[in-house]
A and B are shown apart, each in its own frame.
Chain A
Amino acid sequence: MAGIQVLAAQERKLFSGNEAVARAVWESGVRVASAYPGTPATEMLENLTQYPDLYAEWSVNEKVALEVAIGASIAGSRSFCAMKHVGLNVASDALMTLTLTGAAGGMVIAVADDVGLSSSQNEQDSRFWGRFAHLPLLEPADSQEAYDMVIAGYELSEQFQVPVILRLTTRICHVKAMVTVCERVPHDSTGYVKNPQRWVMTPGFAKSRIALMFERDEKLRASAEMSALNFVVAGKDRRVGIVSSGPAWMHVQEAFPDTPALKLGFSYPIPIEKIRAFSQTVEQLLVVEELEPLLENELRAAGIPCHGKDVLPRSGELPPEVLRPALARLLGGEIPGDEAQRALPAAQVFPRPPTLCTACPHLGIYYTVAKLKNVTVAGDIGCYTLGSGHPWNALDAVICMGASMGMALGLDKGRAEVDKDRKILAVIGDSTFMHMGMQGLLDITYNRGNVTVLLLDNRTVGMTGGQDNPGTGRDVHGNPAPKVDFVKLCEALGVKPERIRKVDPYQLPELAKALREETKIPEPSVIITDRPCVLIEDFKKQPAFKVALDECTGCGLCLDVGCPAISEQRREMRMRPSGKEVMMQFAAIESAACTGCGICLQVCAPKAIVAAAPVTPIHFVKN
């Protein structure tokens, strides 16, 4: 990637929320930035790697990322850490004690909630962490605010010696909007100062820090009451006043231009007196917050009557088309402001779920796994989660990153008598394995689990767009880095050397044989596949194939590969000699999209798949 264009001060640019955060982190003189990739948070660190004057890293997981940022803060430098919502669950062990030590060098933790579930296994509200960990919480509503709040966050962090949580959502991270930037202000490290009472959290020292934490809560609350990040926008229609934060604020402004509204940018600790004063200027109060009714419940507890989730959904985004009818319900049918938009009903169209790419090394794996009988497959988080979809339907459970290992062991130990011959597989990726899978494998070997692990090493973090990790041999800048040897690693974790195999996932017979043999032996085993993701530079295209249509017998096996370049040409009912009717599916290959991996070739009995004449390639995938 080319270096980032360093803009001059006062320049206006179309920035995603993630790009705006990166720019502001750089301007704030941050020295250390760390993250683990995760949608929608990935591009914050990705952009930071292109700025000069700071150290940035892909950490192996979010907990380590946060710990790196803590260390840098103890060293007296400004630090930054980014993750998606579920990442903060992983990092929460560090977070819950970090609140006691606080920060020396300014520290901002950006956490991105996937409100609306565009690419996550759950939808959770990270604003809870501000409450749980007694940390100040800033909630931007667009790119400019994301930029402004990073700058404000570092000032707040150093003023109160506290890490600040910047709560983003998909609708901030991935929205592009105009941002006016400023200049970088270098921020020298204040230097490390030895202070075990503050940094060594033994019970004795921690106890004294708890009282300080409560004191800090009150100071932060006073600061939030005065903060310019919390402000009122006047409106003529006083029947309802709205309190809102985050991207929902923009939707409120869009939907109800005449309604008085209080914007919370510095939303925790709650500026309760400011809200109370606002509530007294309107007939009734409506809290518009994504996702949980946090503020709503806290206002009621403080004796401020309000509406919220009684009229609004508890899940998903709160765009104008959701807000307008909700307010109408509250006001008894009358819709304030603009006329309600009357849209046509949605047309009925087939679903188009995301699927594996043409020549994806996972295609052959799921084709093979789907043909196994009497097997339970514990899945994990990444592109290979798509193996749960059509046509493979190959996964039985997916929970969170690294969970395939522990779940597989539990499926083994908890098996019923009827399942005694059932084979237990765990599927995990290279980056995911290092993120949280390694400990799980150690648990499998230590406790003698009868589990076969499929370690799908595609040499990148695929789903988030191809980031490097300790298995790729490249660092965050693409420079050479020490490369993990997965065979040795698995051996060190206790898997017998003869139970570790490396298999080419494009070679189906070899893959099927390895799976058959390893699942028969009641010991922990690991099958490592090593073809690169088709979206990274390591992938090399091969000449394309086509179906010789007069040779195709309609068995449809190639369609079971699930390659997007293979499609059904026509179907036909045929009578078998036995008298049984079967549906024949005749297939075709879109040669312009085919990259010649040859997986389908191996499942085609009549050898109807042959080399295609040279064609102009279609770029279904980025190259």
Chain B
Amino acid sequence: MKNTVTNILVVGVGGQGVMTATEILAEAAISLGHDVKKTEVAGMSQRGGVVSSHLRFGPRVLSPKIAPGEADIIVGFESAEALRWSHYLRTGGMVLMNTARLVPPVVSGGLYPYPADPQAEIRARGIEVHAFDAMAIAKQLGDMRLGNSVMLGAIADHLPFRAEVLLESILQRFQARKPEMVELNRRAFTAGRDAIAKLARAELLAPSFA
């Protein structure tokens, strides 16, 4: 029997907005009538620790946790974190990652090395990777906080539903909380979407849920 539950794993560092991004993805899935479960492994994550947010949706979701080898997509907000969680991906799954690096004190203090090229390491594991600098796009748009919408835009064409559904969830959220940010977030979403489309064209890769 085909497993009809979609598993999206969003990973990054505390403070990057990982949990908010997953919440928006969850809202999009709910708007389509899916059953949804979302769970975080966030040990004291607000203090710069590792954050992984699991989102599962489909007709009926039982366990909230994605098992290693079962994620359809990994969305990496930080390079080394995308690599750390890459074994959660299923065969044929896809990693979409930000190339930004957040170096923790244990690394900058010389106790551990930062992986030389996380993107290449993931690819070497036989995984389809799309990597781009989401923070540079956000900076270009004038606000680092837009990185979240850039990342969501980037995965929008790799979901089992239309990109517009996700965009609508983002815009609704800002309409309710910060209406003055609606337009900027729309632009950030589109910029992220375009960046990945360009990458995909360049690499001649088809979206996994096409």
Q: Which residues in A have some Cβ–Cβ distance to B below 8 Å?
A: 14, 39, 116-119, 142, 171, 174-178, 247, 250-251, 253-255, 317, 319-321, 338, 341-347, 349-357, 383, 386, 390-391, 463, 465, 535, 559, 562, 564, 566-568, 571, 585, 592, 616-622
Contacts and interface: CB of A to CB of B under 8 A. Distances in A.
B148 to A, nearest CB: 11
Given A357-B47, A568-B109, A321 B68 contact: yes
Interface in B31-52: 35-50
Given A568-B109, A571-B110, A174 B40 contact: yes
B139 A616 contact: yes
A353 B106 contact: yes
Contact of B114 (A341, A344, A350, A562): A350
B145 interface: yes
Contact of A343 (B36, B38, B88, B106): B88
B192 to A, nearest CB: 18
A465 B46 contact: yes
Contacts of A343: 67-70, 87-88
Main secondary structure of the interface of B (DSSP, over half): mixed
21 contacts: A14-B27, A119-B43, A171-B39, A175-B37, A177-B64, A250-B64, A254-B62, A319-B67, A341-B69, A344-B68, A350-B111, A352-B81, A352-B104, A354-B14, A355-B105, A390-B111, A566-B108, A616-B144, A618-B144, A619-B144, A622-B15
B106 A251 contact: no
Given A347-B87, A350-B114, A390-B106, A620 B62 contact: no
Given A350-B107, A562-B105, A254 B46 contact: no
B43 A354 contact: yes
B147 to A, nearest CB: 10
Residue among A351, A352, A390, A618 with max Cβ neighbours from chain B (10 Å): A352
Residue among A14, A251, A357, A622 with max Cβ neighbours from chain B (10 Å): A14
Main secondary structure of the interface of A (DSSP, over half): loop
B67 A320 contact: yes
Nearest to B71: A343
A344 B89 CA distance: 8
A222 to B, nearest CB: 31
Nearest to B33: A12
B113 interface: yes
B9 to A, nearest CB: 12
A142 B37 contact: yes
A254 B39 contact: no
A325 B125 CA distance: 24
Interface string B1-18: 001000000000111000
Contact of A341 (B70, B81, B112, B121): B70
A358 B14 CA distance: 13
A118 B42 CA distance: 7
B185 to A, nearest CB: 15
A343 B127 CA distance: 12
Nearest to A353: B49
Contact of A253 (B42, B63, B67, B68): B63
B26 interface: yes
Interface in B151-198: none
Interface in B82-122: 83-84, 86-91, 103-115, 121-122
B102 to A, nearest CB: 9
A174 B106 contact: no
Given A355-B47, A357-B48, A619 B15 contact: yes
Contacts of B88: 343
Given A319-B67, A354-B14, A383-B47, A178 B30 contact: yes
A352 B50 contact: yes
